[in-house]
Amino acid sequence: MVWELLTLHWRKSLRSVSLGRSILSGLILTFLAVLLLAYLLLLGFSLPTILREGLGIENVIHFLNSHLFFFFLFEVIYRFMFQQLPVIELEKFLPLPIKTSTIIHYLLGQSFVSPLTIIVLLLFTPFSFMEVGPSFGTETGLVWLGTLVLVSWTLHWLMLWFKQQFGDKIIGLLIIFILMGSGIFSAYYGWFNMGEIMRPIFAASLGSPIPLLVMFLAFILSYSLAFSYYFKNSYVEDLSSQKSTKFSGRSLSFFSRFGLAGDMANLELKLILRHKKSRSYLFISGLLLLYGLFFYGDDSLATKTGFSGFFIFVGIFITGIFLMQYGQLLLSWNSSSFDFYLSQPGGARELIKGKILVFAAISSLCFLLSVPYVFYGWKFLFLHLVTFLFNIGINLHIIVLMALWKPKPMDLNKSAMFNYEGVGIAQFLMALPFLLLPYAIYLPVAYFSNWQWGLIALGVIGLIGIIFHKKLTDISVRRLINNKYNISASFRGEI
């Protein structure tokens, strides 16, 4: 039966209207994936040398056991962002005369075939044979390696279940933030070290097979948990009703005062929360709010005046990273429904205005969440204020205008990992003015006066952009209207 399911998948691929493009993109992505995995394998072979010679660690096994918790914490984060869920494929197989349990086993097995599954093997297999084996014996090295592999594979099934339960909810993001904060920042600030607390668990595998057996049991139980969830929810009626109602009531009343543009903003917000790729950008923006923790407390960056020009980059990044990431694919997010907007009176104009509303709202939220950086000094609150003003006054319109240059279509239902649909040369180039233009204003003023006047000049330019936001918005709207038919034809694959 599994062979029949594999045959169906193969036939579906062969009959696709975009077979040639899929093969080409698949070859490119496979090459990139193999290249990245090769780098990981090289890192695995170099790990003992890096630890011993680069960091001066004598007992590399003890050191690694003390930091394995942070590796698996990072694995939880990238699995939450990139791990693909098989629920969409489930709808296609349920009407077939095949046992539901067989379909679930097949889809879970299909999700397991992923580059994420072998990362732990590539990184730690060389270390196991080069360090653990010679010190404790080959069998012990295999037990230690098997324990790490089973921890990673257990996380695979747990994250499938977790993302189905909480992936579309704010509580899911909060759990990940709390887990990350309790792990990384507790160690960074010396509150407690989860790596040292968890070290005895990994070290126990060097003297006993019990951790391996425990993790094998955890692996079986986590698979049973994922299987049970999918089996209980494997009904077409339930899946279709969930898709149609899950986000139907979510909106921000704040946007309603802006008329049709506000409705477009509400739709855009629902799109961001609904699809895994756009949602991952929102999640990354939340993570990068913590970016300043690594720099603002570093005295080596501060000059005689106590302020470094590098902080401008950090401020722009914290208050505008979502604008840069999500805005780069401004229209690609709507490529499948772009013709609908063209059919509405003023739809193209209001679409742009709605996106600008969303960008401004999320940037404002990022600024408010960055207020606690005042703990490092009032200058950092002032820095975030002026970079926020510059982002929504100037950078926002630059991103929108450049994103209208030859946008490319994108399938939102595909995995976010190794997915470069919608990305073109413009998406790479627009990061340059976004990050460099603030320095073109700040550096000359700061050079002839001081850093305070440089920040004031940056904020004043941003305020001017906010005051004239309607005229700046009209520039982008006119560009879209003048090129809307070419853009629409490009999204349909006609050019």
Pair 117, 237 in one domain:
yes
Pair 232, 345 in one domain:
no
- Tell me the C-alpha to C-alpha distance, in Å, between residue 346 and each of 316, 350, 396, 438: 33, 6, 21, 33
185 phi and psi angles, rounded to 5 deg: -80, -25
Length of the chain equals 495
Please tell me the least confidently modeled range out of 200-214, 238-252, 442-456. 238-252
Pair 217, 270 in one domain:
no
Of 227, 245, 263, the position where a domain reaches its end is 245
Best CA proximity match to 110, nearest among 91, 94, 90: 90
Q: What is the DSSP string of 138-168?
A: HHHHHHHHHHHHHHHHHHHHHHHHHHHHHTT
Number of H-type helices and E-type strands within the chain: 24, 0
Pair 291, 197 in one domain:
no
Indicate whether 415 pLDDT > 70: no
Indicate whether 208 pLDDT > 70: yes
Pair 309, 328 in one domain:
yes
Instruction: Please check whether residue 331 lies inside any domain of the structure.
Output: yes
C-alpha 83/C-alpha 159 separation (Å) is: 8
Q: 91 near 73, Cβ under 8 Å?
A: no
- Tell me the C-alpha to C-alpha distance, in Å, between residue 361 and each of 282, 349, 351, 366: 13, 19, 15, 9
Instruction: Please check whether residue 6 lies inside any domain of the structure.
Output: no
Q: 435 near 399, Cβ under 8 Å?
A: no
The whole-number pLDDT of residue 148 equals 92
**Residue of 55 and 216 predicted with greater confidence:** 216
Pair 217, 302 in one domain:
no
Mean per-residue pLDDT for 465-482?
A: 87
Pair 304, 200 in one domain:
no
Domain count, the chain: 2
**Residue of 339 and 149 predicted with greater confidence:** 149
pLDDT in tens, 339-348: 777 777 777 7
The whole-number pLDDT of residue 243 equals 42
Of 195, 220, 245, the position where a domain reaches its end is 245
% of the chain at pLDDT higher than 70: 76
% of the chain at pLDDT higher than 90: 9
The whole-number pLDDT of residue 74 equals 83
pLDDT in tens, 212-262: 999 999 999 999 998 888 888 766 544 444 443 333 344 444 566 667 777
The whole-number pLDDT of residue 1 equals 56
- Show the domain range for 477: 253-491
Instruction: Please check whether residue 156 lies inside any domain of the structure.
Output: yes
The whole-number pLDDT of residue 223 equals 92
Instruction: Please check whether residue 210 lies inside any domain of the structure.
Output: yes
Q: What is the DSSP string of 314-379?
A: HHHHHHHHHHHHHHTTTTGGGGGGHHHHHHSTTHHHHHHHHHHHHHHHHHHHHHHHTGGGGGG-HH
Pair 296, 216 in one domain:
no
Indicate whether 104 pLDDT > 70: yes
Instruction: Please check whether residue 258 lies inside any domain of the structure.
Output: yes
Pair 276, 163 in one domain:
no
Pair 333, 480 in one domain:
yes
Pair 466, 366 in one domain:
yes
What residues have CB less than 8 Å from 489, skipping those under 6 apart? 495
Instruction: Please check whether residue 106 lies inside any domain of the structure.
Output: yes
The whole-number pLDDT of residue 414 equals 60
DSSP symbol at 85: P
The whole-number pLDDT of residue 32 equals 72
Indicate whether 160 pLDDT > 50: yes
Of these ranges, 53-67, 255-269, 294-308, the one predicted with the greatest mean pLDDT is 53-67
Confidence label for 411 from pLDDT (cuts 50, 70 and 90): low
Pair 217, 267 in one domain:
no
Of 193, 223, 245, the position where a domain reaches its end is 245
- Tell me the C-alpha to C-alpha distance, in Å, between residue 380 and each of 136, 223, 293: 51, 47, 11
Instruction: Please check whether residue 51 lies inside any domain of the structure.
Output: yes
Instruction: Please check whether residue 12 lies inside any domain of the structure.
Output: no
The whole-number pLDDT of residue 322 equals 84
